[in-house]
Amino acid sequence: MRYIERSNVSHTQTPCSMVVQDSTAGMFSNMMGVLRALSEYSHVHVQWTHAMYKRDNNTWTQYFFPVAMCNPALSPRAPWNGAGVRHPGKSNSSKELSRQDFHAATHKVRLLPHLLAKIRHFKHRHFGAHNLGVHIRKTDRMTDQAGIAQKLYVVLFPHIQKTVEQYLELHPETTTIFVATDDETTMVELKRVFKDRIVSQHIPRSRGNISIHDSRNKASTPYEKGEGALIDSYLLAECDHLILTASQLNMYALFLSPNMSFSLLNEKDGYNRYDTWFERVSNMTIG
């Protein structure tokens, strides 16, 4: 698997060179700030406290081991740098990081054992010899003003269906279509068309334009929402090809598996920058 367990990471008397905090954005938008910090600093502490996924004092340690043996209490106070990151030293946040930089940073992100066990169990039970991954972000895309301003529109189902059918025609050896989506209607339609080839987590999904991660959506607890999204991302990283709509969730999966081929269904990739970070990936299509 492309991720490794880590144990016995604890705070020491070493000050942290970077303290990463979360914003009100989603988990994987905040994860990009973590990966950036891990690419630039040696002693990083992640402190996520927003209520979107929170169960304990630090949302990060609900899902991951601490990423460095350092003590944030010994770190000098520092202002925000505008990207969910604060640091006691000079910021290198203007540095242009590469796909390889982000991939290397993912090796420092360690899932807790109970999440690794769920990923391994799902893969053993449902994945076959050749697996197509499909990730469709829909519900909150309808109201994502930043995305709409950059022409990141909702991808309609006929385009999704046609792209999957074209891939299956070229790759008849495909045994499984793993689907990750926040939208229940899309899941129902994919199962209707592709039937038993479809596998997915049994987790709540939204109908309409209220995100599954919105506090108004009571289908599951904040912790369960975060866990479901994380497992989806790591399972996408285990597939052989991905069909995607623009989202930081699948961007993280691509950083986990940087040579993964994929098709992006959005005509514009907006702020996600697939065309910048993955320009040399073979069999990459946008639109």
| 136 confidence band (pLDDT: 50, 70, 90) | very high
Between these two residues, 67 and 13, which has the higher pLDDT value?
67
Between these two residues, 26 and 172, which has the higher pLDDT value?
172
Q: Cα–Cα distances in Å, from 86 out to 14, 105, 208, 259, 261? A: 17, 18, 36, 31, 34
Helices (H) and strands (E) in the chain, counts: 10, 9
Q: Measure the CA dihedral 62/63/68/71, to 10°.
A: -10
- Domains, in order of start, for the chain: 18-110 (no CATH), 114-286 (3.40.50.11350)
Structure pTM?
0.85
Tell me which range, 88-97, 142-151, 245-254, is most confidently predicted by mean pLDDT: 245-254
Please, what is the Cα angle at 143 between 139 and 148, to 5 degrees?
Answer: 110
pLDDT in tens, 221-274: 888 989 999 999 999 999 999 999 988 899 999 999 988 999 988 765 555 577
pLDDT in tens, 177-233: 999 998 899 999 999 999 999 999 998 887 766 665 555 555 668 889 899 999 999
- The whole-number average pLDDT for the span 98-125 is 95
Between these two residues, 95 and 55, which has the higher pLDDT value?
55
